[in-house]
Structure 1
């Protein structure tokens, strides 16, 4: 991996000269508040270095105002002192607001000191990993260094790690779990190995930056491991990184350049966290302070407008069944492009200067003519991703593509994609620093209008819409329209693109697409379909078992084999032949247990469950073996006897599993095959009836290809 970035600043240890700053200002321009009394109190505080009255913008809709700047002697004291601002002043809660408070440590340092955290040269990495069985003790007996397993005494492991660190002098330590860092140092202390250190400055030990925690986001429980800092090196915890796991180091570095968050912080940051950092950089460039608490009230709107605004994107319910000669069209980065082409931004939506205008379709919302800050945040990202995608196509079309170059480009493209995906929803997030619900509503309103426009143009051009959801639309030639009267799809897409000012791209051509019904009903599932790409030996799968992270690899492989047979024959009987062979393989014990491992997310502590589920059985086994599994983490297991409710119902994936429950996995196979056949009107009852009717003749009566 090669980089061409400049200015790498490794994580710094304590800097006695650094005095972080936060600000205090009136909550609104209507509050007539004298900040001098609070300033006098602050000046006597032992943790405050200095104060001054400066002119800053407390918000995008406000001009420069007098605000109190407070310089603190340590970054850990900023939040406490900001909280005391309201306690030390005579003004009631709500009159004062604090700014630039909850910035992450390294990001704050770079922002306040105008430091660019981009690496100047290629970065070296060293990976340390331990198996799950080693994560519970106070010392390791086995550890891998860049894939080479070291097993033995404490001294053997410490010697191997120290030798690798000394030889490689890595810029980045990639750890399977951040707990490796304190555990290795504790091992060294207990063994009396004084010279062991992972730091580039041995006189400065590692530091714990945050404790482990469990959180809930949009109804989903997550787990955040403890975070550590090793002076002079960046830490990437593979159990607590989104961007490094979903993209690669090139993707991480691209976002470092845009967000000014150093590698270590960006590695553990969420999409919203990075998007906020990019927005903060834009605010900083405009002289706008960053609010600590988001107290933006929702603008008043009549009940009718509220009803019209409180809607999502437009959806055309899919026509369940098999459709041939299907084309998929997608609007390129629809929501980000709506923001940029329609100037949808929190600082200009429903502006006072154009309050009598109705710019947003279906809503009485005006949008100011002045360019919004969110456009300046997103347009460079949209342009950059378009350029990267074009470079990927050029590289792929070369006779001898550069695989390293492709890996770099794809990593960068993937990282930017996630930022663009999140930018819309973040406008409606109640804790977003600069979000506003009216922006979220306006974007949806524009998106609905755009998709309806596309539908009307496509149907007028002789195409039939079989499914559409938010930014994608699937069409097939209308059988009632003569081919000579049908408008070329590329011509239509270009015409629609010009009309809505957002590019409508031809995403894919399918020989056929099957839309799957919802379980226990005939209505189409919105995001559950599969299709065969035209001219390719490739399927596109969405929502079915082969795309679900909990599905064992054996079930996935059988479902994919069924899809191959379905494509070749479009015959339910041929698909059932695959199912029969798989069931025989299960019941004869010919499936490796590694292929039957399920991976499920733990949603609560063990004592928080009221039912004896498989997860509970797995958690009990983990507890008995001293393995800690926190809410938000995954647990992997094989079902060995689903009739039981005790810990013996399952076996953990790392155990020496010798058996499994074939009846349970047979049921899962039938569900997977139902997903394949349900577009043709088959359900589990039909499949079971067919299996029962044939299996009565005996399993051995079937030949290798599944025919009698």
Structure 2
């Protein structure tokens, strides 16, 4: 099966199939992309004659025909226009479809388009029924450059397959060419895709006309898209320019979530499920991959994919709207340190609710069962016909359960196969992310097939399930100290004798049978601490930490150690303080460790590299109104011709927080001789406050203790 697809300038398509000793191309010269146009309202009487004539005269269109297709899950086959596009213009399908909605002959909003905004590799695989799962294991070659090299027209340093090469352009190009010849990689894993055009520019500078990364002799590389900045769920992101090298897939490590969170095995697993080729899947978001899987299922059912989401929300009374507009159930945590805590989790709760309750956009609030109340508290009906979303998710749930079982079995052997474990874990993590996204995507306004009523129904079922679990556990002699949507923490009820307390495994089985979704015994903890909110005695819903029983491992959520911006030194001190808290259950040993860390900090004994903060840039430099550390860092980056775009990270060390200029910080790659100790002392105090707040201590108490302390114990100074 081909794993890479190249669209040549002459209209041909290359299919590349991986083999044990390289890759073989197949030339395809009869591919024609297609999209569809029709009335948005099935009851509307719209004459498509003028639209057909418009497309028949368009130079980028090679054919138009009337055809019967289903434009939606709740609609029967209707007469639509099928527009065949010259493959040379495959990237102009969206522009062609947009013209259909702009014709004066049709009122605004009356014309709808389908199968429009597909990436070209995915479109090719979908329309021709091609499975892009590699036929053999893919070979890779890594290419990376330090951030300081990204501004010039030529590299002086480049890491090739783990070996750092330094020298003039010819030296670096020779190293790359040698590695390409020796490995003949299927995948180029680049720290930034800009490596591709830069290497070709370097070759042109030194006259190395024979240099190429391509497997196809007539084309070196293509630029598929320019860089852009976007906003998703209020978070700014940056999409770098995208490039294509014929015969090879490019994975840009600066712009790949799924490869970063899993590995190549996880990426390939999702390729087989979504039919997005390796290169497209690597740069895709979780939602994009989930959508591709859904589009495949819709296509199998004969349903087209709408270009834009226009599903109206079904009418509902004000009372129902109030009841529906809630999330999953969360119990207020009992702030403090709790001994002998047990955690139970529902396995893939939201995906399993979808599958066991048949929650799907095509069957929720169906007309055929409109008088039935299937969703607790909302009285929504759910059709008996199997929803398409169930067919999308059920194989993923089942496969992940099987993969997790295989991981447990492999780990239980005397000599685990680490390579096999890595592959299995990559696949498990990839499927986990798809399952994580499937619920939220039902409420996403731009989801191709989502519906807000599905989102509401899933939450309603989840609340009912968690309350059922709480009641059964308390009846069995356990106190619930916290619960978050699909997880619940319990301790033995003090007023119930151990002889009358029901075993947790038995209770988990009973609850599983009652709700139809497996409740798993997740972990036992020696202790768990639930953290209060800042400046408030109420418990923070998602901040807690605890030590797993009979181990030195912790489960940590929400506090500084879990925050990517936290400097490594602060993280290490906080983890050390957690150990001290676990040993003593008292504040003094923790405070002594803090005192020692502050002493090292003030004495200049902390490596500045361990004080690096990494912050995601949210907007262009000129858009900031306050002079923050980020602004100072961006100014320094600009002075050094380093491009840091909104959505990317900037790394710096605070060297003098009292200054109001770019000298306030130093970029992480610069030579740093000193740092602002008082600033990082404040960071340490804040981190230790998170550790001690379950005991009732705040930062004022910590500051007072530090002020009153003149000597710490010698043990506190041990490394």
Shorter-chain TM-score bucket reads: over 0.9
| Aligned match of 2:66 | 53
Give per-residue Cα distances to partners, 1:6-50, cap 9 Å, x unaligned.
543454544343221000111122112233332233212211101
- Residue 225 (structure 1) aligned with residue 240 (structure 2): yes
| Aligned match of 1:70 | 83
Judged with a 3 Å threshold, the aligned counterparts in structure 2 of structure 1 residues 124 and 10 are, in CA distance, closer, same or farther, namely farther
Give per-residue Cα distances to partners, 1:290-317, cap 9 Å, x unaligned.
0001111111111111101111111101
Where 2:716 maps in the other structure, the secondary structure is coil
Any residues of structure 2 matched to 1:250-261 within 5 Å, and which?
250-261=265-276
- Residue 623 (structure 1) aligned with residue 622 (structure 2): no
- Residue 552 (structure 1) aligned with residue 567 (structure 2): yes
Any residues of structure 2 matched to 1:352-501 within 5 Å, and which?
352-501=367-516
| Aligned match of 2:15 | none
| Aligned match of 2:556 | 541
Q: Any conservation in 1 of the 2:132–2:277 contact (CA below 8 Å)?
A: yes
Query: For residues 501 and 470 of structure 1, what CA distance do their matches in structure 2 show?
Result: 16
| Aligned match of 2:653 | 638
Query: For residues 44 and 73 of structure 2, what CA distance do their matches in structure 1 show?
Result: 17
- Residue 94 (structure 1) aligned with residue 105 (structure 2): no
Unaligned runs of 5+ residues in structure 1 are 1-5
| Aligned match of 1:177 | 192
Give per-residue Cα distances to partners, 1:30-74, cap 9 Å, x unaligned.
112233332233212211101111111100111112111000112
Query: For residues 448 and 57 of structure 1, what CA distance do their matches in structure 2 show?
Result: 36
Query: For residues 604 and 282 of structure 1, what CA distance do their matches in structure 2 show?
Result: 38
- Residue 29 (structure 1) aligned with residue 42 (structure 2): yes
User: Which deviates more from structure 2 when the two are superposed, residues 199-208 or residues 101-110?
Assistant: 199-208
Judged with a 3 Å threshold, the aligned counterparts in structure 2 of structure 1 residues 643 and 408 are, in CA distance, closer, same or farther, namely same
Query: For residues 628 and 91 of structure 1, what CA distance do their matches in structure 2 show?
Result: 45
- Residue 649 (structure 1) aligned with residue 649 (structure 2): no
Q: Any conservation in 1 of the 2:4–2:279 contact (CA below 8 Å)?
A: no
- Residue 202 (structure 1) aligned with residue 217 (structure 2): yes
Correspondence for 2:55 among 26, 30, 42: 42
- Residue 512 (structure 1) aligned with residue 512 (structure 2): no
Q: Any conservation in 1 of the 2:5–2:121 contact (CA below 8 Å)?
A: no
Where 1:137 maps in the other structure, the secondary structure is coil
Q: Any conservation in 2 of the 1:222–1:631 contact (CA below 8 Å)?
A: yes
Q: Any conservation in 1 of the 2:617–2:648 contact (CA below 8 Å)?
A: yes
Q: Any conservation in 2 of the 1:344–1:372 contact (CA below 8 Å)?
A: yes
Where 1:705 maps in the other structure, the secondary structure is helix
User: Which deviates more from structure 2 when the two are superposed, residues 491-500 or residues 198-207?
Assistant: 198-207
How far residue 220 of structure 1 moved from its aligned partner, in angstroms, is 1.0
| Aligned match of 2:714 | 703
Q: Any conservation in 2 of the 1:344–1:439 contact (CA below 8 Å)?
A: yes
| Aligned match of 1:525 | 540
- Residue 8 (structure 1) aligned with residue 3 (structure 2): yes
User: Which deviates more from structure 2 when the two are superposed, residues 29-38 or residues 349-358?
Assistant: 29-38
Where 1:623 maps in the other structure, the secondary structure is helix
Query: For residues 706 and 398 of structure 2, what CA distance do their matches in structure 1 show?
Result: 55
Q: Any conservation in 2 of the 1:335–1:424 contact (CA below 8 Å)?
A: yes
How far residue 101 of structure 1 moved from its aligned partner, in angstroms, is 0.4
How far residue 160 of structure 1 moved from its aligned partner, in angstroms, is 1.4
Query: For residues 69 and 528 of structure 2, what CA distance do their matches in structure 1 show?
Result: 57
Query: For residues 291 and 574 of structure 1, what CA distance do their matches in structure 2 show?
Result: 61
Where 2:704 maps in the other structure, the secondary structure is helix
Give per-residue Cα distances to partners, 1:106-158, cap 9 Å, x unaligned.
00011111111011111110111000000111111111101111111111111
- Residue 677 (structure 1) aligned with residue 692 (structure 2): yes
Q: Any conservation in 2 of the 1:336–1:424 contact (CA below 8 Å)?
A: yes
| Aligned match of 1:309 | 324
Query: For residues 556 and 105 of structure 1, what CA distance do their matches in structure 2 show?
Result: 44
How far residue 470 of structure 1 moved from its aligned partner, in angstroms, is 0.7
Query: For residues 44 and 554 of structure 1, what CA distance do their matches in structure 2 show?
Result: 67
| Aligned match of 1:236 | 251
| Aligned match of 2:621 | 606
- Residue 267 (structure 1) aligned with residue 282 (structure 2): yes
Where 2:714 maps in the other structure, the secondary structure is coil
User: Which deviates more from structure 2 when the two are superposed, residues 30-39 or residues 447-456?
Assistant: 30-39
Where 2:394 maps in the other structure, the secondary structure is helix
User: Which deviates more from structure 2 when the two are superposed, residues 277-286 or residues 179-188?
Assistant: 179-188
| Aligned match of 2:176 | 161
| Aligned match of 1:284 | 299
CA RMSD after TM alignment: 1.2
Give per-residue Cα distances to partners, 1:525-568, cap 9 Å, x unaligned.
11110001011111111111111111111111111111111111
Correspondence for 2:205 among 171, 190, 193: 190
| Aligned match of 2:150 | 135
User: Which deviates more from structure 2 when the two are superposed, residues 474-483 or residues 89-98?
Assistant: 89-98
- Residue 659 (structure 1) aligned with residue 674 (structure 2): yes
Q: Any conservation in 1 of the 2:580–2:590 contact (CA below 8 Å)?
A: yes
Query: For residues 164 and 435 of structure 2, what CA distance do their matches in structure 1 show?
Result: 40
Query: For residues 9 and 655 of structure 1, what CA distance do their matches in structure 2 show?
Result: 40
Query: For residues 142 and 284 of structure 1, what CA distance do their matches in structure 2 show?
Result: 48
Query: For residues 9 and 47 of structure 1, what CA distance do their matches in structure 2 show?
Result: 25
Q: Any conservation in 2 of the 1:516–1:678 contact (CA below 8 Å)?
A: yes
Q: Any conservation in 2 of the 1:345–1:374 contact (CA below 8 Å)?
A: yes
Q: Any conservation in 2 of the 1:41–1:88 contact (CA below 8 Å)?
A: no
Q: Any conservation in 1 of the 2:122–2:276 contact (CA below 8 Å)?
A: yes
Query: For residues 256 and 272 of structure 1, what CA distance do their matches in structure 2 show?
Result: 14
Query: For residues 202 and 598 of structure 2, what CA distance do their matches in structure 1 show?
Result: 49
Q: Any conservation in 2 of the 1:199–1:206 contact (CA below 8 Å)?
A: yes
Aligned length: 698
Query: For residues 251 and 11 of structure 1, what CA distance do their matches in structure 2 show?
Result: 23
Where 1:422 maps in the other structure, the secondary structure is helix
Query: For residues 46 and 603 of structure 1, what CA distance do their matches in structure 2 show?
Result: 42
Q: Any conservation in 2 of the 1:172–1:233 contact (CA below 8 Å)?
A: yes
Give per-residue Cα distances to partners, 1:386-431, cap 9 Å, x unaligned.
0000000000101111000100000000000000000000000000
Correspondence for 1:245 among 241, 260, 271: 260
